[in-house]
Structure 1
Amino acid sequence: MSNGTTSQEFWLFGYGSLIWKPPPHFDRRIPGFVTGYVRRFWQASQDHRGTPEAPGRVVTLIERSYWEQLKDHHDSAPERVWGVAYRIIPGRVAEVKDYLDIREINGYTIHYTPFHPATGVDLAILPTQTPIKTLVYIGTPENDQFVGPEDPHQVVDVIFRSHGPSGPNPDYLFGLEEALNELSPESGDGHVTDLSNRLREMMAARRVPTPDPSPSLPQEHHFRRAASVDEQEETEKAS
């Protein structure tokens, strides 16, 4: 046993669209957080929330030690990056893990990180030991889709204009803000909130209706081997 998992368990951590769009074949969904990272809209999206000609912006995780060396307009970040951990049904682990391992993910690579369940989570759904070892997809600074620090107004302008096969980029930003706010009284992210507020102001100034946030309850999706746009986004490809 390691970090609360066994060879029969496979946990996946979602910090972007996975929060409200679950992966296939999960039987447990636990809110909580990881440490040692900062969440930022520093990853370009060419195939889901944008196009190769006009990439959108989506979130990735930055190692805090690296982020602290950069000049970021948002010069503070919470110690905890909140999100959701999903346990894949034991009988489907090999199928799902093989699917995740072999699938090409544009700019994102596989990492493992300890996940801390939120206070008050039903003990019956927790593994014997915590934190839980979770797989997470991260767009590291080495990948060619990583854009790094940008002026928030520039980021918001890109998000405002971007639209891809998975839908408008603003829907993603507002959906993430809503999903984070519902996880815990302390799960909000100032970076996400500031960008959301700036985007609302921009849309109001340009008389563009603000879209409704994504549904509060997780949306289940059927597992598909086919390279569908929607299924790829579920596993954080476009976050």
Structure 2
Amino acid sequence: MAETNGVVVDATGRPSTSSGDEFWIFGYGQDHRGTPRAPGRVVTLIERSFWAALADAHDSAPEKVWGTAYRIKAAHVKEVAEYLDIREINGYTIHYTPFYPADGSSPIRTLVYIGTPDNDQFVGPQDPQLLAEHIQRSEGPSGLNRDYLLELEKALDELSPESGDAHVTDLSDRLRDIERGIKSGKVKVDVNGPPEPVPHEFRKVTSVDEQEETEKA
């Protein structure tokens, strides 16, 4: 065992499941808002150097990333570490970084997963309007992709007066415009709807506070 920034970790860099110590993890989104045949869109964190190499429609990005730090008590470290291995095992690297509470209290060392360029689920920059249209019609085991986007916008806006995200708000505004157009009949939707969901083996993880869903190992 070793200690990284005050967090006891094992040889792989993951939180130790036998040390009896708690740890904190930075949360910034959820998953499963689509199916393998019709994947939805969710947020991820990437290295700034990787982002700078992309031809993104947004020519700037803030220095801060807003989210929530979750305290994982010692009794639940093993359970949560195993859950995170299933959720984040492909295409992410583990980092430890200071988390600065919005109330100005002392920084907290938190674990965070950063997406890598070889993550096969990373789709890269997309046209914002096409992205909003894709989100509007996508659905998965955790619910509607539109709900994910709108709840993310709401959560970010409520964290702090500074915490809103221009990209998320832009997508949300486009989504609302699309849905107003559908309701008024000015926007036509595919009468056949999105592709039929494919069979899956997702199960509820009832013991984790976030009540997310994960795949069976």
TM-score by length of 1: 0.67
For residues 39-79 of structure 1, give each alpha carbon's deviation from its aligned partner in whole angstroms, at most 9, with x where no partner exists: xxxxxx7xx21111111111111211121122111111111
Q: 1:100 aligns with which of 68, 75, 84?
A: 84
Deviation at 1:139, TM superposition (A): 3.4
What residue number does 1:51 align with? 35
Please list every run of 5 or more consecutive structure 2 residues that lacks an aligned counterpart in the other structure.
9-18, 185-204
Counterpart of 2:67 (choices 78, 83, 92) is 83
SS at the partner of 1:92? helix
SS, match of residue 61 in structure 1: coil
Provide the aligned C-alpha RMSD in A: 2.6
Corresponding residue of 1:182: 158
Once the 2 structures are TM-superposed, how far is the Cα of residue 191 of structure 1 from its aligned partner?
Answer: 0.9
Matches of residues 129-144 of structure 1 in structure 2 within 5 Å?
130-132=107-109, 134-144=110-120
Deviation at 1:87, TM superposition (A): 1.3
Q: Deviations over 1:70-95 (max 9, x none)?
A: 21111111110111111111122123
Q: 1:88 to 1:131 in 2, by over 3 A?
A: closer
Alignment match of 2:213 (pick from 222, 231, 235): 231
Change (3 A) 1:64 1:172: same
Hey, what's the Cα distance between the residues in 2 that align with 1:107 and 1:173?
23
* Alpha-carbon separation, structure 1, partners of 2:72 and 2:166: 31
1:61–1:138 CA contact under 8 A, matched in 2: yes
User: Structure 2: which amino acid aligns with 1:68?
Assistant: A
Give the distance between the partners of 2:89 and 2:97, measured in 1 at CA: 24
Hey, what's the Cα distance between the residues in 1 that align with 2:164 and 2:6?
A: 26
**1:70 alignment partner AA:** L
Runs of at least 5 residues in structure 1 that lack an aligned partner in the other structure? 18-44, 209-220, 234-239
Change in CA separation of 1:99 and 1:50 when aligned onto 2, cut-off 3 Å = closer
**Structure with the greater relative contact order (CA < 8 A, sep ≥ 6): 1 or 2?**
1
Aligned residue number for residue 193 of structure 1: 169
Q: Give TM-score, length-normalised by structure 2.
A: 0.73
Q: For residues 171-203 of structure 1, give each alpha carbon's deviation from its aligned partner in whole angstroms, at most 9, with x where no partner exists.
A: 000010000111111111111111111111111
Give the equivalent residue in structure 1 for 2:202: none
CA contact (8 A) 2:96 2:111 kept: yes
Cα distance in structure 2, aligned partners of 1:61 and 1:117: 17
The corresponding residue for 1:63 is 47
Give the C-alpha shift of residue 232 in structure 1.
2.6
1:70–1:100 distance in 2 versus 1, CA, 3 Å: closer
Report the count of equivalent residues.
Answer: 180
The structure with the larger Rg is: 2
Separation in 2, partners of 1:189, 1:73: 15
Q: Partner of 1:82: helix, strand, or coil?
A: coil
Deviation at 1:161, TM superposition (A): 1.0
- Structure richer in strand, relative to its length: 1
Q: Report the alpha carbon displacement of residue 5 of structure 1 after superposing the two structures with TM.
A: 4.1
**1:2-43 CA-partner distances (Å, limit 9, x unpaired):** 5354662311110113xxxxxxxxxxxxxxxxxxxxxxxxxx
Q: Percent identity?
A: 56
| Partner-residue secondary structure (3-state), 1:111 | strand
Q: In structure 1, what is the equivalent of residue 58 of structure 2?
A: 74
Q: Is the 8 A contact 1:11 1:85 kept in 2?
A: yes
Distance in 2 between residues matched to 1:68 and 1:99, nearest whole Å: 31
Q: Which residue of 2 aligns with 1:27?
A: none
